[in-house]
Structure 1
C-alpha cells in the first residue's frame, strides 16, 4: 500500500494556517517572509532571528542571526561570520538564498537539559475512524554550538520525561505539559483538516523557552520517525508504525 497522507512543503503556508486561528497565535513565534524590510524590523525587535528555507527539512540551511555590540553574527552549523551593518548582512543572506524562498522567525532561547538545548516532537496521527490522537512525544537534544537540534545535525533523540527532568522541571509540570502538547497537536490536526484534505499524520516541532513556555516552530506533514529506533525502548516507534500502516507508512 502506498503512503497516503497529504504533504505540504511550504512552512509559510502552514504558519499562516495556524495564525488565522486565535487559539494558536500565542504558540507561534513571530514569523515573516524574508525581505530587507522584514529583516530590519525583526532585528529591531529581537536579539536572535532564524533564517530558514520555506521548503526545508532536517534542519538543513538554517542560519541563526544574533545582534552583537558591533553589528550582527551569522551562524550556519558551527561557522560564524560577522557583519557591521544590516545592508551587508541582507546581501549575504540574499546571496545564500539564491532563488529559494526563506522565512525569518523570532529566535526562542531553548530550555536546556543537562546543559544541552532541546526541542520536542509532538506526533499526532489519525485513527481508522478518522479522529486525531497524540501517539508520540519525544525530544531532540542538540549538540552544543550547533544551530539546529535535528537528528541529521548531530542531535540525539531523548524521551520526553527524562529530558524534561534533566531541564529541572518537576513531575507535575511535566505531566501538565505532556497533556497540553497532545491537545495542541490534536488541535493542529483539526486546523490543517479545515485547510486541506488527506492528512493522516503531523509532527509538530515545539520549543520550550527557558521559562517553560511552548512555541510551535513548525509543523511537518511528513515527519521522520526512524530516529526513534535509536532509543533502547522501541515502544514509541512501534506505536507510531501501528497507526501508520493504515495509510502506508511502514518505517
Structure 2
C-alpha cells in the first residue's frame, strides 16, 4: 500500500468527494487555457501550482484586473493587456509541467505578511487519527508562499490568530477536528497513508480552507513549536509507523 501520494490532483479529488470536507476545499481544476480563464472570471484571483512538487516551488498567483491581467512568481510581478499574452507567458514559466488552478484565498496577515497554518495529523499507535501539532507559517516579505523552505517564518498559530479573533483557541480546536476528518478520508482513498500535513488558509471570515494535503510533511518545523512535547510526540508516533 502506498504511504506517499505525490499527485496534488489525486489528493484533492479524494477529499472533494467527502460531502462534509468539500466545503473546506477551494475549487480546484487541472489548468488549461479555458479553466484558468474561467476561474479568473469567477474569482478574479487564483493560484496555480505544479501537480507534482513541494516546498511551494512553482506556485504563482494570477489576477484579473479591470483592463488586464497580472501574475506574481516569487517576487517578480508581470502585467498583461490580453489573456493570450498572460497564458503564453505562464506556459513559459511552467515549462510543460502539469499544473492545477485553484480559487484564490486572500490569506490573513501578521505584521504585513500573509500566513497560513500547518496541521499535523498522524495515525497513532492506537490505530486512530490524531492531530498532533498545529503551527503557523508566515510568508517572507512580498512573497506569496509561506513555506519555511521558501523563506517563511514559523510562529505559534494561536499568536497569529489572536490578531484576528478573540476565539483563537476554539478555532484551533476546530482545525484539529478538521485534521482528523481529513485523515480518515485520505485513508479511505489511500489505505497506506499514515500521516498528513494540512495547509490551511483562513479567510477574513475565519473560514478554514484546505489548500493542500501533504502525505510526507516535514516534522522538523515543529521543533519551533512553543511546547517541546509537541515535537516529541510527533516523532514518537513517526517511529511507530510500520516499515
- TM-score, normalising length: structure 1: 0.92
Equivalences for 1:169-188 in 2 at 5 Å? 169-170=165-166, 173-188=167-182
C-alpha contact (below 8 Å) 1:78/1:145 kept by paired residues: yes
Within the candidate set 31, 37, 42, 2:34 is matched to 37
Distance 1:248 1:19 in 2: 28
Structure 1 residue runs without a partner (length 5+)? none
My pick for the range that moved more, 64-73 or 151-160, is: 64-73
Aligned to 1:135: 132
Q: Deviations along 1:157-176, whole A, 9 cap, x unmatched?
A: 111211111x2310xx2122
Paired residue secondary structure (1:26): helix
Are 1:20 and 2:17 an aligned pair? yes
CA distance in 1, matches of 2:131, 2:150: 26
The residue number in structure 2 matching 1:59 is 56
Partner of 2:221: 227
Deviation string, structure 1 residues 79-111 (Cα, Å, up to 9, x no partner)? 011111111111112222223110001110111
Hey, what does 1:158 align to over in structure 2? 155
How many equivalent pairs are there? 243
Task: Say if 1:51 and 1:64, in contact at 8 Å, map to a contact too.
Answer: yes
Instruction: State the Cα distance separating 1:226 from its structure 2 match.
Output: 1.7
Separation in 1, partners of 2:242, 2:158: 30
| Counterpart in the other structure of 2:92 | 95
Matched residue of 2:24: which SS?
A: coil
Q: Which of 144, 148, 164 is the matching residue for 1:147?
A: 144
1:231 CA drift (Å): 4.6
**How far apart, CA to CA, are the structure 1 residues paired with 2:68 and 2:22?**
31
Alignment of 1:188-207 (within 5 A): 188-207=182-201
Cα distance in 2 for partners of 1:62, 1:146 equals 11
Superposed structure 1 runs of 4+ greater than 6 Å apart:
none
- Aligned counterpart for 1:211 among listed residues 200, 205, 212: 205
What is the CA–CA distance in structure 1 between the aligned matches of 2:236 and 2:202, rounded to whole Å?
Answer: 29
- Structure 2 residue runs of 5 or longer lacking an equivalent are none
Which of 161, 164, 179 matches 1:168? 164
Q: Is the Cα–Cα contact under 8 Å of residues 51 and 65 in structure 1 kept in the other structure?
A: yes
- After superposition, the CA RMSD in angstroms is 1.7
2:114 maps to 1:120: no
